[in-house]
Amino acid sequence: MNQSEFREVGYFLAKGLFPAEECDDLTNHMMFLRETKHPGDYDGVDPKSGDPLVKYPRMIHMHRWDEVSMQWAIDTRIAKAMTNLLGAEPYMVQTMLYFKPPGARGQALHQDNMYLRAQPGTCIAAWLALDDCDVENGCLQVVPGSQDLPLLCTEKADTSQSFTDVTVPIPPGLKPIPIEMKRGDVLFFNGSIIHGSYPNTSADRFRRSLIGHYITNESKKVSEFYHPVYRMDGSIIELEESERGGLCGVWTEVGGETTVKMVDPLAHDLVARHE
């Protein structure tokens, strides 16, 4: 896939980018990290909890304290793929590991750049499947046709199905589709595309995914949580901190067609709470 094709669809599935042996090593390493306590690991583990996501909470920013995570995030295969898709090498700002054990909730539909706030440009994710993932164990879902949308105003999510409490609505005519992946596949997708996942309804299958978040190299700002910013050779580049706020989009009918209207998010939230 070339740059124009990636801009047109917003995502690309690189099949078999990482071989099975590397996925085994990464999985074993991440399970070890989850079982041990490390400075900078935000979420505590409660093995007695009835919530699978409390037994296996996600890990965030592992690259700041784990060299294996750092080297994966700046791996030449990932750098080459994103350079081909974007036309220039990106900057790396985050690593994450989702364990998603059997019975775990998913994550409601959202846009990544709502959190990263890359300005100008956007963010891009590299989503490595460490397990085969399908609808049963809660594979990633993406909404084709949403890749060029502005940031949408959030609404309350169903927390019985999602571990996050906000979501973004999609209009009639757009719907999420499952991206079934084999272990070692990597899905690259931009920061505007709407995506999420449903619960893991399997009896005994994890859906572990190792994720890197990046920003395009024209970006001059990113949210404070994502500093320091790294070049793909591991060196640090100084960028500004982006501010929260600004307009967000709501779906509205104009002349019989559904379109996005940009509004003040505070005013939208006040209206939503009184509906």
Give me the CATH topology for the region 3-244.
Jelly Rolls (2.60.120)
Residue 270 has pLDDT above 60, yes or no: no
pLDDT reported for residue 265: 80
Measured between alpha carbons, how far apart are the two ends of the chain, in Å? 44
Average pLDDT, the chain: 93
91-123 residue pLDDT tens: 999 999 999 999 999 999 999 999 999 999 999
58-81 residue pLDDT tens: 999 999 999 999 999 999 999 999
128-146 residue pLDDT tens: 999 999 999 999 999 999 9
Judge whether 242 and 118 are in contact, CB under 8 Å.
yes
Poorest-pLDDT segment among 28-37, 129-138, 189-198: 28-37
Nearest CA to 144 among 109, 113, 105? 109
pLDDT reported for residue 274: 34
Helix, strand, coil % in the chain, rounded to nearest 5: 25, 30, 50
233-252 residue pLDDT tens: 999 999 999 988 788 999 99
Judge whether 199 and 161 are in contact, CB under 8 Å.
yes
**CA 176 and chain centroid, separation:** 15
Q: How far apart are CA 98 and CA 243, in angstroms?
A: 27
Q: What's the whole-model pTM score?
A: 0.93
Share of the chain above pLDDT 90, in %: 82
Q: Where, residue-wise, is CATH 2.60.120.620 in the chain?
A: 3-244
Q: How far apart are CA 214 and CA 125, in angstroms?
A: 6
Confidence of residue 32 (pLDDT cuts 50, 70, 90): very high
Judge whether 179 and 188 are in contact, CB under 8 Å.
no
Residue 196 has pLDDT above 90, yes or no: yes
Burial of 174 per CB tally in 10 Å (0-12, 13-18, 19+): middle
203-239 residue pLDDT tens: 999 999 999 999 999 999 999 999 999 999 999 999 9
Buried b (16+ CB within 10 A) or exposed e, 233-263: eeeeeebeebeeeeebbbbeeeeeeeebeeb
Residues 6+ apart with CB under 8 A from 43: 57, 58, 59, 60
Q: How far apart are CA 124 and CA 215, in angstroms?
A: 6
